[in-house]
Amino acid sequence: MGVWYTLTAFCFMLFAGVLALIMRTQLAVPDNDLVSASTYNQLFTLHGSAMMFLFAVPMFEAVSIVILPQLLGARDLPFPRLSAFGYWSFLLGGVFVLGSIFFNVAPDGGWFMYPPLTTRTDLSGLGADIWMLGLSFIEVSSVAAAVELIVGVLKCRPPGMRLNLMPLYAWYILVVAVMILFAFPPLIAGDLLFEMERLLGWSFFYASRGGDPLLWQHLFWIFGHPEGYIIFLPSIALFAMLIPTFSQRHLLGYPYIVLAAVGTAFLSFGLWVHHMFATGLPKISLAFFSAASQAVVIPTGVQIFAFIATLAAGRVIFSTPLLFATGSLAIFVIGGLTGVMVAIVPFDWQAHDTYFVVAHLHYVLMGGTLMPLFAGLYYYWPLVTGKKLSDRLGRTAFWVLFAGANLTFFPMHLSGLMGMPRRVFTYPAELGLGGLNLASTIGAYLFAAGVLIVCIDLALSPTRPKGRRNPWNAGTLEWLAMPESEHWGIRSIPLIETRYPIWDQPDFMRKVDEGRFFLPDAEEGRRETIITTVLDARPVAVVRLGTPSFLPMFAAFALGGVFILTTYHLYWPALASGALTLALVLRWLWTTAEIPEKPCKPIGHGIELPLYISGTQAPGWWAMFITMMADATAFSGLVFGYYFFWTVHEAFPPPGMTGPGSHWPMAALALTAASWAATVGARAANRRGLVTTARLLLSGGALSAIVSIGAGLAGPWLSGLDPAVHSYGAIVWVIACWTTAHAAVGAIGQLYALARSLAGRATPTHDADIRNVTLYQHFLLFTALVTWLTLGFFPGVA
Amino acid sequence: MIDGLHQRIRALHVTLWTLIVPPATWASHFLFSYLWAAVHCAKTGHFADEPAVFWTGTGLAAIVIVASGWIALVQARKPGDHPPHNEGTEIDRLRFLAYATLLLAGLSVVGVAFTALPVLFIDNCR
């Protein structure tokens, strides 16, 4: 699955690269007429969107799905079917969005889709809907991948791999996956508002109806800036693996790298307004974000110095992957330095929306994402196929790519400073920009030639013989893989005592191969892996992983149906597709948390582990917790909208409008709290063996949740609040709908737990379902508290 | 007395949650500063007239970060075997997490100072 994922993302990258070549051809000479302005708008929008959403983020997820299980000595990540669901969502969404350009309806509002240009249906057509709905669908798959990767890193490490022995790649992936949880949901919230405005005419971004286009910019960039780091950190993580290998020594400054990853993750959330320096916000606000933008340089620099120090202290083998790595660091540093320049407000005002910014961001992404991925490709190709790529072709490709990237993007600094705005489809000869643009275009073709050489190298790979195991003489676990693929993954799950076990633990490979470590057999023929504790990786259970199934694929296609049919305003079929999605997901869930045929099984060395766990030790509980964190973040994006509108309006709600009052919101809150209390009671009763009481409480809880939906919507409905008149009504309605929809999902969860109990799939000792449902209810109660108190009492209206 | 305090500090539980206390404090302070300034400007049209609120918040953030950094420093220096502390033992796992927390505290102090600087120089909503 990981290999398919990687290949698909690579193909989307090639497609987006071709779009860039068409653009560069158009700009090669002044007053060119190769493409029209409208086509050009579609080209740059799709190029940016595809590179970000269909290449950079999915590529990191794909690479992680390939190498993370091997790096952690696990048989697989904990939710292989979730990975499959993510992949099919990604494939369908990607084809849908990219295919639109062949019908001349591709999105054309730029990759950040600023309203009101994009929300006015007379200014932008179907493309905006395709962008919003198609990419929302892919955002769902990214959150799914984040869940998979976080639980994988925290719970599926081999015994003994304490946090301080974890490969740095896993640290980076953990950090990035957590960033996804907090970065993507605000965009999902923004997408929701955006489509409500486009499809239903609710008012969020029109100033004339109390909206504010800046709200979109905030929500977009709270996502958009961390996004830059979300795609940069996993690529730099590849360096943390290959630099020790080619220095033939441990990486220096392990805790400093962790500092860099965690520090960057936090600081990157304090940078979003630096994309909005030119919007007229007060200087004091801009200054905070400028300061944070300067501070993020510190952790970024620290990790680069740690890499350089490791190379300086080691015995360097200058292989092709290392050549790519060092070259990309050089490119990245140039991008970083121009980043420091544009983080300074007055400079940014000069450079804003010029080719200087285009140059900056491409240097960062070339050096921080694309070239490191080529390094990773050359490094990990033997892991996947058992064969090395050609050194000669690789080195040639590197120099062509390196020259091409610099020739393309360096002149853009100059054309930008000379005043060339970004996103123009042509320019007059009198501006004197012809030479610089021609150089950029030649560079782009040179770069494309480099990519072509890499593709040729990949295409020749099947003709080459298999190499030896661990061809780079690396020290980390993933290189235990044999050149001939083995379907069971690692032969036995090792006990880890050092950071580089292949180097430092005597006879390590032989012991793994001879099955001397844990779980060497699968007596029942099931795919199993060990679950360990978060801090010290003490084994706590053996879990059975999902096997290949069509359900995730069908569920992904059904969910895709919801988004695609909504794009074409086919609401009834979309609703049917939504119902189908729900049915498929429930069917899929039904296969999980099965009660094993025996309570425990031996894993070797006299250790016996349970086959069923629930609650805070179980992967399923963690998955629910992480998903709900993302959900709560999306919700906070909507609540941010409410308070944001309060700040921009003198009177809120506006004169002449009445809010939902406080009675109905309080009734909804009380009913939700009752539903929560019933669930908590049901969990406790079930644990004590009072199964009938638990079932009654679950039924009562579901009933209470369903009634709370009516109470929640009655407030805005009975007060006649019209979402199309003013942003106040729109934001109240959207928050009320969000919370009541969550109450509905809560009721489905309660009924699901009830059904599991009735079907004998959940018992007092096998209570994973009810514990996960209770966890959902905790988050639901929090959502309801914030929603109904805000709508009922803030800012002092009744 | 100091020794007794150090003993107690070393016995404190260290987890992934304690690791993120300093940067989370920076984030809270950052959000607080931004809201303090931006909401005043948006709602009243003039600069926040109670700077004491801002400096109290900044002082609190600095105290939390310095305290967690100091606790981390004591924990990272837990006496025992010689460096480098990168063995697969419980004490080295503790030292690692503590040391990483200390580094994050350093970064967070710089972050809070950076955030506070604009308030020294800007006193209007233009």
Segment A193-219, tens digit of pLDDT: 999 999 999 999 988 888 999 999 999
Residue A564: which domain range? Answer: 551-589
Question: Tokens 């984040």 correspond to what residue?
Answer: A146
pLDDT in tens, A647-671: 988 888 888 888 888 899 999 999 9
Residue A798 lies in a domain: no
d(CA A284, CA B38): 8
Look at residue A354 in the predicted model and tell me its pLDDT: 96
- List the one residue out of A513, A529, A548, A442 whose CA is nearest residue A152: A529
Tell me if A545 sits within 8 A of A531, measured CB to CB: no
Does any CB of chain A come closer than 8 Å to the CB of residue B70?
no
Residue A488, pLDDT above cutoff 80:
no
Query: Residue A486 — very low, low, confident or very high, per pLDDT cuts 50/70/90?
Result: low
CATH number at residue A246: 1.20.210.10
Q: Distance from A131 to chain B by nearest Cα, in Å? A: 31
Q: A639 and A583 share a domain? A: no
Does any CB of chain A come closer than 8 Å to the CB of residue B111?
yes
Q: Which of A411, A431, A463 is the last residue of a domain?
A: A463
Rg (CA), chain A: 27
CB contact under 8 A, A288 and B33: yes
Torsion, Cα B38 B43 B44 B46, to 10 degrees, reads 20
Name which of A162, A284, A498 is nearest B122 (Cβ-Cβ). A284
d(CA A739, CA A792): 14
Q: A219 and A127 share a domain? A: yes
Look at residue A239 in the predicted model and tell me its pLDDT: 93
Does any CB of chain B come closer than 8 Å to the CB of residue A281?
yes
Tell me if A781 sits within 8 A of A654, measured CB to CB: no
Three-class SS state of A73: coil
Count of domains forming chain A: 3
d(CA A747, CA A755): 12
CB contact under 8 A, B88 and A282: no
Question: Which tokens belong to A124?
Answer: 């932008």
Question: Tokens 């003490």 correspond to what residue?
Answer: A538
DSSP 8-state class, residue A158: P
Percent of chain A with pLDDT over 90: 76
CB contact under 8 A, B88 and A162: yes
Question: Which tokens belong to B46?
Answer: 């003039």
Tell me if B8 sits within 8 A of B43, measured CB to CB: no
Length of chain A (residues):
798
Residue B85 lies in a domain: yes
- Interface subset of A 259-278, CB within 8 angstroms of B: 259, 262-263, 265-267, 269-270
What's the average model confidence in pLDDT over A228-239? Answer: 93
The stretches of A100-167 forming alpha helices (DSSP H) are 126-155
Q: Which residues pair with A610 in a beta bridge?
A: A600
Backbone angles phi, psi at B6, to 5 degrees: -60, -40
Query: Which residues of chain A lie closer than 8 angstroms to B25, CB-CB?
Result: none
Tell me if A740 sits within 8 A of A781, measured CB to CB: no
Residue A639, pLDDT above cutoff 60:
yes
Q: Which of A447, A463, A479 is the last residue of a domain?
A: A463
ipTM of the shown complex:
0.95
Query: Which residues of chain B lie closer than 8 angstroms to A287, CB-CB?
Result: 117-118, 121-122
What's the average model confidence in pLDDT over A108-122? Answer: 88
Residue A124 lies in a domain: yes
Tell me if A474 sits within 8 A of A250, measured CB to CB: no
Residue B116 lies in a domain: yes
> Whole-angstrom distance between the N-terminal and C-terminal Cα of chain B?
53
Name which of A163, A288, A299 is nearest B115 (Cβ-Cβ). A288
Q: Which of A536, A568, A589 is the last residue of a domain?
A: A589
Taking residue A417's Cβ as centre, other Cβ atoms within 10 Å add up to 14
Query: Which residues of chain A lie closer than 8 angstroms to B122, CB-CB?
Result: 283-284, 287
Residue B126 lies in a domain: no
Q: A133 and A243 share a domain? A: yes
d(CA A308, CA A257): 12
CB contact under 8 A, B115 and A258: no
**Mean of the per-residue pLDDT values for chain B?**
90
Q: A583 and A638 share a domain? A: no
Count of domains forming chain B: 1
Say if pTM beats, i.e. exceeds, 0.80. yes
Beta-strand relationship, A607-610 and A600-604: antiparallel
Residue B72 lies in a domain: yes
Backbone angles phi, psi at B122, to 5 degrees: -115, 130
Among A175-184, A372-381, A545-554, the range scoring the smallest mean pLDDT is A545-554
d(CA A279, CA A293): 17
Residue B27 lies in a domain: yes
d(CA A64, CA A2): 8
- Interface subset of B 35-64, CB within 8 angstroms of A: 37-39, 41-43, 47
Residue B73: which domain range? Answer: 2-121
Residue A307, pLDDT above cutoff 60:
yes
- List the one residue out of A9, A789, A797 whose CA is nearest residue A376: A9
Q: A174 and A292 share a domain? A: yes
